[in-house]
Amino acid sequence: MSGTATAEPAVEPALRLDGLNKSFGPVHVLHDIDLSVRAGEVTALVGDNGAGKSTLVKCIAGIHAAESGTVRFRGEPVHIRGPADAADLGIEVVYQDLALADNLDIVENMFLGRERGSPWLLDEAAMEQAARSTLASLSVRTVKSVRTPVSSLSGGQRQTVAIAKSVLWDSSVVLLDEPTAALGVAQTRQVLDLVRRLADTGLGVVLISHNMADVFEVADRIAVLYLGRVAAEVPARDVTHGQVVELITAGRSGELGLARPDTAAL
């Protein structure tokens, strides 16, 4: 028997960025960003404040236009000129402020701006059924009724609704901005379980987080941004908590990370 392992065929990432650059006036914020988001995996995007995480997410979401670089979606080059382009591709973003309307119920929030029916008569039954089905597909059991006003939900339940809303539209890639920020222990547990289930259903998930415990619990891969550059993108199992912290704070940990200034020109 041969001792040579057969390499598995490469699977094209759901979303791939090559050489992405973004500046605001004279300030170069993102430098040649390479990033892959694979279907069925959670990619944690980590970095210190000012590392460029928010700008990168907004470039992917179509809020900011990159000056150069290539974006590939399911292997095909695409041009994301605005949020509508990203949504049409199947890229959804759940921002930290959730963008939920407290005066509306869960169904109304999930379909806000994308209501079903005619301008004169909404199809409430179809929307309610779709909301229930989406929550059920994600094994959400913390919401008793889809007609519950958002104002009466806990922080964890609100986050759950916002995430469920993002997958309602046949999305392929979901970006989550600090989904466990300001949540208690039990609510954090619920949201992390949901994040993992998103990937298990075949979505490519990007988790932006400062919480290393959360990152190592659910992430398959970790991408570290340092001063607008990707210091490393590695399987979570191949790095330690300490190495990730060093990459975040210094851009390098041992032989991993950005080249040292004295060797960059070699």
Q: Which of 84-98, 140-154, 200-214 has the highest mean pLDDT?
A: 200-214
**Could you give the strand order of the β-sheet that contains 15-24, starting from the edge strand earlier in sequence?**
27-37, 15-24, 68-73, 76-78
The pLDDT > 90 percentage for the chain reads 66
Rounded CA gap, 162 and 13, in Å? Answer: 25
Q: What is the mean pLDDT of the chain?
A: 89
Per-residue pLDDT for 246 more than 60?
yes
Query: Would you state the pLDDT for residue 170?
Result: 79
Fold of 15-100+154-257: Rossmann fold (3.40.50)
8 DSSP assignment: P
Helices (H) and strands (E) in the chain, counts: 8, 12
Per-residue pLDDT for 214 more than 90?
yes
Are the CB atoms for 169 and 113 separated by under 8 Å?
no
Q: Write the pLDDT tens digit of every residue in 187-197.
A: 888 889 999 99
Query: Would you state the pLDDT for residue 261?
Result: 59
Per-residue pLDDT for 102 more than 70?
yes
Per-residue pLDDT for 24 more than 60?
yes
Per-residue pLDDT for 218 more than 80?
yes
Q: Write the pLDDT tens digit of every residue in 126-180.
A: 999 999 999 888 888 888 899 999 999 988 888 889 888 888 887 899 999 988 8
pLDDT range class, residue 63, cuts 50, 70, 90: very high
Beta strand 221-226 with 42-47 is parallel
Give which of 195, 216, 178, 69 is closest to 139, Cα–Cα: 195
Give which of 89, 59, 92, 94 is closest to 74, Cα–Cα: 89
Rounded CA gap, 73 and 91, in Å? Answer: 9
